[in-house]
Amino acid sequence: MPGLLERFLRYAEFDTTSDESSGTSPSTPGQTRFLGILRDELISLGMTGVFLGEEGVLYASVPGGTGSTPLGLIAHVDTSPEAPGAGVKPILHENWDGSPIRLEGGVVIDPAECADMRRYLGATIVTSDGRTLLGVDDKAGVAIIMDICSLLASDPSIPHPPLSVAFTPDEEIGRGVDHFDIGRFGARFAYTIDGGPVGEVETQTFNASSADWTFKGRQVHPGSAAGILANSLRAACDAVSMLRAEEMPENSTGMQGYDYPMSLSGNASESRLRMILRDFDGDGLERRKMRLRSIAEAVRARHPGVQVSLDIRDQYRNPGEILNRDRRL
């Protein structure tokens, strides 16, 4: 029976990067393969009701359990598309002495910039080799849930409530619960195992939306561009410059929301800007959406030759809004 660390190291090597441009669920074949492996492992552990849906949500139940209220555990299998996820090579830094950790490509993890690392002095820290993500978010959660299933299957005498587990795809691109079947899951209350210090339980998170901009300009030869050229890049840059700098992630802390321009690409003819919006308060998120729409109007007025489109989509809601009405958890 593999231990938790061994299980995580094995899972980390699977490429499960999600892809926002894909129209399938899961959005990438790597997630489908990994979910199939987890399904087979759950069956071999003796879990019941193991089912992998066509859209990539995997369900199972732990045999036994006492009590009338089933409890759920959930983790997502995908990793962020913002950094490479293929060819992950985990490295163990045992008995870490508090010094900076140096990886390939000049990557340095410096505790002076990551104060939380200090709590792990003398422990084993796991990193990638510096070329890729490690994928702790959320392969660690997957490994923990699988380890719980293994432990309870090997020792039925351990008391536990009726326990349901689920693994979802595409959380990193905001689609994690799009195809989640609550009826099949079988638990009305659940914990998501997804990061944070040991022993911490978070009862709130942000309300979340994505904002995708497209700027379509008019390209002509620069030698005869006067009064004709409409530069989409200038329009996109103006949109970013109109955002409130004090409300970006690098300037927000705690429960302060933010507007995050994540990527900008294109040329004079067409440019694309990807953003996410986060706010603990639902009304606050709506105000952020309204502000972006106002910025879009201002950019259109400043660049009349550029077509500006803004697609805002809700991703997930703050569970604290529900928990404030029902504190049974």
Give the model's pLDDT for residue 254: 86
32 CB-near residues (< 8 Å, 6+ apart) = 26, 56
Tokens of 294: 């106002």
pLDDT of the chain, 329 residues: tens digit per residue: 468 999 999 999 999 999 988 999 999 999 999 999 999 999 999 999 999 999 999 999 999 888 878 999 999 999 999 999 999 999 999 999 999 999 998 999 999 998 788 889 999 999 999 999 999 999 999 999 999 999 999 998 999 999 999 999 999 988 888 999 999 999 988 999 998 788 888 888 899 999 999 999 999 888 888 888 999 999 999 999 999 999 999 999 888 999 999 999 999 999 999 999 999 999 999 999 999 999 999 999 999 999 999 999 998 888 888 788 876 65
91/213 Cα distance (integer angstroms): 39
- Matching residue, tokens 């069956």: 43
Residue 151 · residue 163 · CB < 8 Å: no
Where in the chain are the domains? 4-90+128-202, 207-316
What CATH class is the domain 4-90+128-202? alpha beta
SS3 category, 285 = helix
Looking at residue 1, its pLDDT comes to 47
pLDDT of 198 reads 81
Fold agreement between 4-90+128-202 and 207-316:
no
Give which of 185, 201, 179, 151 is closest to 70, Cα–Cα: 185
Q: How far apart are CA 278 and CA 15, in angstroms?
A: 27
H/E element holding 138? helix 136-154
Cβ-contact 46, 149 below 8 angstroms: no
Residues 312-328: b if buried by 16+ CB within 10 A, e if exposed: beebeebebeeeeeeee
Amino acid at 268: A
What is the pLDDT at residue 24?
A: 95
- Chain-centre distance for alpha carbon 278: 13
Question: pTM for the whole thing?
Answer: 0.85
CATH number of the domain located at residue range(s) 207-316 in this protein: 3.30.70.360
So what's the pLDDT on residue 2?
63
Q: Which residues are catalytic?
A: 78, 171
Q: Looking at residue 185, what is its pLDDT?
A: 96
